[in-house]
Amino acid sequence: MFDCGEGTQLQLRRLHLSFSRINCIFISHLHGDHCFGLPGLVATMGLLGRTTTLHIYGPQGVDSLLRPLGESGEGETLPFNVTVHAVDTKREALIFEDRSVEIWSIPLHHRTPCCGYVLREKPLLPHIRRDMTDFYGIPVHALRGIKEGGGWTLPDGRHIPHEQLTSPAESPRSFAYCSDTMYIPEPPASLSGVDLLYHEATFAEADAARAAATGHSTARQAALVAAAAGAKRLLIGHFSARYDDEKTLTEEARAIFPETIAANEGLCIDVGNRR
């Protein structure tokens, strides 16, 4: 999960999303609309009987968000561990890795220490073509080696190459989350080529001075970042309440970056190019 504002629990329930599947929460900065839902969510996880460790990443001081749990006594009765990881918001760094994904933090420029996050899937091994392995009578114990790049030699000496026994895996997907930030003309390297970039677009270009004064971006600036990063699609959000019609912001971004989508509550997007 990226950020945890007020109402997060309500949205999880409304969208029928499982609390137990959240193992890591990445907080971009300590302004309330991005983190005030965290204590309540952690407490509810305890009430639901969670036992696995929850990892929370965020700027220095993110642990203070959990202080209300301790003051109320809730923290002492949690049936699971909460591990907090402080993120250096001034540098690009790999902060999480498992066998499936890598997550990088990237510096953003806001009124308080703030970072974005880039999630990249690791390349998958190719698929075994069972029609071919069955045809050649290749034993099951050899399939792992074939997936990892090997071929197979038949008893008569013929060698069947790896490419003939496999089909390509799906392309690894990538997602970037750029929370509250001023315009960054030269995006961090880890943003390069992401399948989907979420970038705040609080203001229209007519209010660019207000955006700069408050540490935010315009829709046009978000589109410029997407174009400079070579992103495939752009998702804009965090719209100021001054705009009655968000269509203005979407059109402004699309003039620079046509593959722009406006975020809204409950929107589901298929990230990447799955076949």
* DSSP secondary structure string for all residues of 137-169: T--GGGHHHHHTT--EE-TTS-EE-HHHHEEPP
pLDDT at 219: 98
Pairing of strands 54-59, 24-26: parallel
Per the structure, how many domains does the chain have?
1
- Between the alpha carbon of residue 252 and those of residues 203, 206, 247, 258, 272, the distances in Å are 10, 10, 8, 10, 24
Place 70 in a pLDDT band, splitting at 50, 70 and 90. confident
Contact 240, 200 (CB under 8 A): no
Residue in the block written with tokens 């918001």: 89
Q: Residue 134 falls within a domain, yes or no?
A: yes
pLDDT at 22: 97
| 3-state SS assignment for residue 211 | helix
Q: What is the pLDDT of residues 23-51, one digit of tens each?
A: 999 999 999 999 999 999 999 999 999 99
Active-site option among 33, 195, 207, 244: 33
Contact 114, 200 (CB under 8 A): no
Residues 190-206, mean pLDDT to the nearest whole number? 97
Q: Residue 78 falls within a domain, yes or no?
A: no
Per-residue pLDDT at 72 exceeds 80: no
Per-residue pLDDT at 194 exceeds 50: yes
Per-residue pLDDT at 68 exceeds 90: no
pLDDT at 183: 97
Helices 247-254 and 219-229 cross at an angle (nearest 10°) of 30
Per-residue pLDDT at 209 exceeds 60: yes
First-to-last alpha carbon distance for the chain, in angstroms, is 25
**What value does the mean pLDDT of the chain take?**
94
Contact 196, 178 (CB under 8 A): no
**Catalytic: 244?**
no
Percent of the chain whose pLDDT exceeds 90? 91
Chain centroid to Cα 115, Å, comes to 12
Distance separating alpha carbons of residues 58 and 271, to the nearest angstrom: 24
Percent of the chain whose pLDDT exceeds 70? 98
Q: What is the DSSP letter of 30?
A: -
| 3-state SS assignment for residue 102 | strand
pLDDT at 208: 97
Q: Residue 262 falls within a domain, yes or no?
A: no
Residues 113-122, mean pLDDT to the nearest whole number? 97
Residues 217-221, mean pLDDT to the nearest whole number? 98
Domain span at residue 159 reads: 127-167
pLDDT at 149: 94
Q: Give 197: exposed, middle or buried? Use CB within 10 Å, 0-12, 13-18, 19+.
A: buried
Residue 13 structure tokens: 């329930």
Q: Residue 179 falls within a domain, yes or no?
A: no
Place 236 in a pLDDT band, splitting at 50, 70 and 90. very high
Question: CB-based contacts of 18: which residues, under 8 Å, 6+ apart?
Answer: none
Per-residue pLDDT at 252 exceeds 50: yes
Q: Residue 153 falls within a domain, yes or no?
A: yes
pLDDT at 231: 97
Per-residue pLDDT at 275 exceeds 60: no
pTM above 0.85, yes or no: yes
| 3-state SS assignment for residue 82 | strand
